[in-house]
Amino acid sequence: MIQQDRNGIFDLLRAYHENVFSINSSNTKITELKTELEAIQEQVITMVLGFVYGRVEFMDYSEDLNNLEKRIKAHAAGTQVEQDDKELISNKAGQLLSIIELTKKSVVV
């Protein structure tokens, strides 16, 4: 992996963690979506850091995030707070997808 790719991955990880991930809705479906995203987030970040440091093979979690995105879109938000929370979860999933895509491009064939 070249240093430029590594720096780009670290920049995306930093940006991902700088954005606050606070859900204001008490809706159980929104809470479930957040919990699912957090589980995928843990897997993605662990894999990316392990990959960058040469400890693990690349694993593509894009399908998991795309399935989550479909469930987010399928959930009808009743209030503005729920809509804002859906958008936040969707944005965080999109950021994780960007991290995965950059990491995938760094895979040496």
DSSP letter string over 55-108? SS-----HHHHHHHHHHHHHSPP-SHHHHHHHHHHHHHHHHHHHHHHHHHHT--
pLDDT in tens, 6-50: 889 999 999 988 877 677 667 888 889 999 999 999 999 999 999
What pLDDT is attached to residue 109? 45
* pLDDT cut 90: percent of the chain above it: 53
pLDDT above 60: residue 101:
yes
What pLDDT is attached to residue 50? 94
| Confidence label for 90 from pLDDT (cuts 50, 70 and 90) | very high
